Amino acid sequence: MLEQLVEYDTELFLFLNNLGNTSWDGFWQFVTEKWSSIPLYVILLYLIYKHYGWKGTVVILVCVALMITATDQLSNVFKNGIKRPRPCQLDELKESMRFVAVRCGRYGYFSAHAASSMAAAVFLGLSLRRWFKYLPFLLLIWAVLTGYSRIYLGVHYPLDVITGMAIGGVLGWLFYWLQMWGQRRFRTEYTGR
């Protein structure tokens, strides 16, 4: 059963990875770069400050820092525990795949990029949905694009990305509730949902 799942995962990876072409490579390299999201984070930080004030913003920033640390560390535990090689590490795939990334890490299950971006999308989308009802959906699209970029570049299988998104989504939701508790605990004037 597990072998069949891995085979399907490899086939789906090759299909999705080979959809790319050189005219799109730069775009997907930009999407996958963590620093490319800084303008989005700056806008979201401004919206958070505008609606939560400085005390509420501090609570959110502390929760975000803990959440991103949790997603990255949990990903490292899985990668070093399961030790599933990335597709770009396997000689038998190198001739049939497109490797576009700058470098190829050792292990890939699960994707920290996918987990962190989905955690941020869920957390920030829920935190701002009271004022911007479509924002959660836009952030989820951003997270999915980030996840797909990892497949496109040849550094993760689809299962790496899907697992990362699922774990990131759960962590985003849990840290959202931690943030809500923090808002009630440290900001008596908070009136959010």
Predicted local distance difference test score (pLDDT) of residue 187: 65
Predicted local distance difference test score (pLDDT) of residue 193: 44
Query: Quick check: 30 and 36 in contact, CB under 8 A?
Result: yes
Query: Quick check: 122 and 172 in contact, CB under 8 A?
Result: yes
* Token pair for 175: 């840290």
Each residue of 150-166: pLDDT tens digit? 999 999 999 999 999 99
Each residue of 1-19: pLDDT tens digit? 888 888 999 999 999 999 9
Predicted local distance difference test score (pLDDT) of residue 1: 80
Give the C-alpha distances (Å, rounded to integers) separating 103 from 50, 89, 154, 175, 193: 39, 10, 10, 31, 43
Each residue of 60-112: pLDDT tens digit? 999 999 999 999 999 999 999 999 999 999 889 888 999 988 888 899 899 99
Tell me what the mean pLDDT of segment 101-124 comes to: 92
DSSP state of 86: P
Tell me what the mean pLDDT of segment 114-138 comes to: 95
Tell me what the mean pLDDT of segment 7-32 comes to: 92
> Is pLDDT at 191 greater than 60 in this prediction?
no
* Token pair for 11: 């086939």
Query: Quick check: 161 and 151 in contact, CB under 8 A?
Result: yes
Predicted local distance difference test score (pLDDT) of residue 133: 92
Give the C-alpha distances (Å, rounded to integers) separating 140 from 30, 48, 96, 122, 191: 18, 18, 31, 7, 25
CA–CA distance, 119 with 75 (Å, rounded to integer): 13
Give the C-alpha distances (Å, rounded to integers) separating 25 from 40, 49, 58, 137: 21, 36, 37, 25
- The verdict on whether omega for the bond into residue 110 sits within 30 degrees of 0, i.e. cis, is yes
Predicted local distance difference test score (pLDDT) of residue 6: 87
> Is pLDDT at 189 greater than 90 in this prediction?
no
> Is pLDDT at 190 greater than 60 in this prediction?
no
> Is pLDDT at 50 greater than 90 in this prediction?
yes
> Is pLDDT at 29 greater than 80 in this prediction?
yes
